[in-house]
Amino acid sequence: MGSMGWGYVAVMAGVTFATRALPATLIRSKVTNRFLRSLLYYVPYVTLAVMTFPAILGATGVPAAGAVALLVGIALAWRGAGLFAVSGACCASVLAVTLLAQAL
Amino acid sequence: MATAVIGTQTTDVHAGELAYPGTARLGEKGLGLFREGLAEGVPIALGYFAVSFSLGIAAKMSGLTLSQGVVTSFLCNASAGEYAGFTMVAANAGYLELAVMMLIANARYLLMGCVLSQRFSPDTPVWMRALIAFDNTDEIFAVNVAHKGDVRPARALGLMALPLVGWAGGTAVGMLVGGVLPKLLVQALSVSLFGMFLAVIIPPARQNRVVAGVVAVSFAASLAASVAPLFSAAGEGVRTIVLTLAISAVAAVLFPCPEDDAEAGEA
ipTM of the complex: 0.86
Nearest to B76 among A16, A30, A80 (CB): A16
Q: State the Cα angle at B246 between A27 and B110, rounded to 5°.
A: 20
pLDDT at B265: 43
Which amino acid, B123? D
Contact (Cβ atoms closer than 8 angstroms) between residue B57 and residue B175: yes
pLDDT at B240: 78
Tell me the C-alpha distance between A83 and A77, whole Å: 8
Tell me the C-alpha distance between B23 and B249, whole Å: 53
pLDDT at B188: 83
Q: What b/e string do you get for A26-65 counting C-beta neighbours within 10 Å, with b at 16 or more?
A: ebeeebeeeeebbbbbbbbbbbbbbbbbbbbbebbebeeb
DSSP state of B115: H
pLDDT at B258: 65
pLDDT at A31: 64
pLDDT at A76: 97
Nearest to A34 among B187, B239, B256 (CB): B256
Radius of gyration over every alpha carbon of chain A, rounded to an integer in angstroms = 19
Residue of B nearest to A101 (CA): B184
Contact (Cβ atoms closer than 8 angstroms) between residue A25 and residue B129: yes
Q: Which residues of chain A does B52 touch, with a Cβ-Cβ cutoff of 8 Å?
A: none
Tell me the C-alpha distance between B152 and B121, whole Å: 8
Q: State the Cα angle at B213 between B208 and B216, rounded to 5°.
A: 125
Tell me the C-alpha distance between B209 and B38, whole Å: 35
Q: Which residues of chain A does B247 touch, with a Cβ-Cβ cutoff of 8 Å?
A: 42, 46, 50
Residue of B nearest to A26 (CA): B117
Tell me the C-alpha distance between A56 and A68, whole Å: 10
Q: Which residues of chain B does A37 touch, with a Cβ-Cβ cutoff of 8 Å?
A: 111, 256-257, 262
B186: contact with A, CB 8 A cutoff? no
Tell me the C-alpha distance between B265 and B267, whole Å: 6
List pLDDT tens digits, range A51-103. 889 989 988 888 999 999 999 999 999 999 887 788 889 999 999 999 998 88
Determine the 3-state secondary structure of B255 from DSSP.
coil
Q: Domain boundaries in chain B?
A: 41-190, 208-267
Which of B105, B43, B111 shows the shortest CA–CA distance to B78? Answer: B105
Which of B214, B202, B109 shows the shortest CA–CA distance to A78? Answer: B202
Helix, strand and coil in chain B, % to nearest 5: 80, 0, 20
H helical segments located in B135-191: 138-146, 153-177, 183-189
DSSP state of B149: S
Q: Which residues of chain B does A92 touch, with a Cβ-Cβ cutoff of 8 Å?
A: 188
Q: Which residues of chain B does A24 touch, with a Cβ-Cβ cutoff of 8 Å?
A: 113-114, 116-117, 120, 129-130, 132-133, 136
Task: Respond yes or no on whether the N-terminal peptide bond of residue A23 is cis (omega within 30° of 0).
Answer: no
Residue of B nearest to A76 (CA): B199
**B26: Cα separation from own chain's centroid:** 30
pLDDT at B239: 80
Task: Tell me the shortest Cα–Cα distance from B27 to chain A, in angstroms.
Answer: 26
CA atoms within 13 A on the CB side of B48: 29
pTM, entire model:
0.68
CA atoms within 13 A on the CB side of B220: 7
pLDDT at B22: 37
Q: Which residues of chain A does B203 touch, with a Cβ-Cβ cutoff of 8 Å?
A: 77-78, 80
3-class SS string, chain A: CCHHHHHHHHHHHHHHHHHHHHHHHHCCCCCCCHHHHHHHHHHHHHHHHHHHCCHHHHHCCCHHHHHHHHHHHHHHHHCCCCHHHHHHHHHHHHHHHHHHHHHC
Nearest to A45 among B99, B102, B204 (CB): B204
Task: Tell me the shortest Cα–Cα distance from B165 to chain A, in angstroms.
Answer: 16
Task: Tell me the shortest Cα–Cα distance from A38 to chain B, in angstroms.
Answer: 5
- Arithmetic mean of pLDDT, A18-36: 82
pLDDT at A98: 92
- Residue of B87, B191, B242 to mutate, testing the A interface (most A Cβ within 10 Å of its Cβ): B191
Mean pLDDT by 10 residues, chain B (267 residues): 36 38 55 88 78 87 91 90 88 88 82 79 89 88 77 92 93 86 78 84 92 96 88 70 89 81 44
Secondary structure E strands in chain B: none
